[in-house]
Structure 1
Amino acid sequence: MMGDMYALTSIENIGKYLARAVHSGTDIEAHEHVAFANNLSGVVMSISSCTSEHAMSAYHENLPHGAGLIMISSEYFTYFVNKHVCDERYVRMAQALGMKDASKPEDFITALLNLQKACGVDNLKMSGYGITIDEAEKFSKNAHETMGGLFLYDRTPLDEKDCAEIYLRAYK
């Protein structure tokens, strides 16, 4: 699939260069590769979906988009890893992030968390942005009411209950 090609190339560039770019504002090579990955990700987003974070920032305008994505990412991906609907895809994504010996879908979660730690964003908390745990159902309802069609792009159905559970598991 063309989307996979763009996504994997983007992930490879992020895995190799993001931590370098975060830690050095003068590392031009790292910043070029992150910018390239950013552009490829835009293409991927135009043919895929992103719903859950938008529902959070709809109620919390001070929540940066990237921070929201980071905070829910591991639980979001864990949901699909546990469903085993695209195991090989997650193995390839872990390998693209730099875990060359990845052999199981769970390795992607490990690689993702390692990248977050390397970039110093592993301790972001929803509570730090004024989000309360009781908002999970509200976010889920908003996501489905305003962006429901985008859920059709997911590899397996993700209903309101599933979305709320992801928010709850991600909450800190």
Structure 2
Amino acid sequence: MSEDAKRHLPLWRRDFPIRWDEDHYVTRRQLAKFLTLGSAILVGANLAMVAAGRTRTSMAYPPQRLCAADALGPGESLLFRYPTAQDPCILVRTKTGALVAFSQVCTHLSCAVVYRPADDRLFCPCHEGVFACHEGTAGAEPLEGPPERPLPRITLDVRQGDVFATGVVS
């Protein structure tokens, strides 16, 4: 294109010299197909993550002795690490006398939960999350605050007067 012809072009045309005949158009139909397929993949991925999060798995680890069964009175707790030295847990003898153990790591932002004997509940001081502290097959269910997932439960076994941690139910 000559200099004279370039001078008579609109300013935007000089700034963006696109050769429309060489440009590859994307039709509206192609764009709609792409957006539909992409949205379907994202929905499928989210559903898979929800399904994976709702399934509880039980992992067996080598038994670890925690304490004597009569070492804790009703309303008392004991901190320990299981299954590795990087996994803080809490053993609680509830007011009813049941022994229960849970991960001490809050499922909201990983703060350490503590046992409150007056309420017979586990409390997360970071954002005031409260978890149920009772025996059963599930973990400590969240009752108040921002946590939405239960604390993983540590399975216990009492043998010859000693309490052993035997696995993790998450």
Structure 1-normalised TM-score? Answer: 0.23
Q: Which has the higher helix share?
A: 1
Q: Which has the higher strand share?
A: 2
Question: Which one has more relative contact order, counting CA pairs under 8 Å at least 6 apart?
Answer: 1
Structure 2-normalised TM-score? Answer: 0.23
Larger Cα-atom Rg: 2
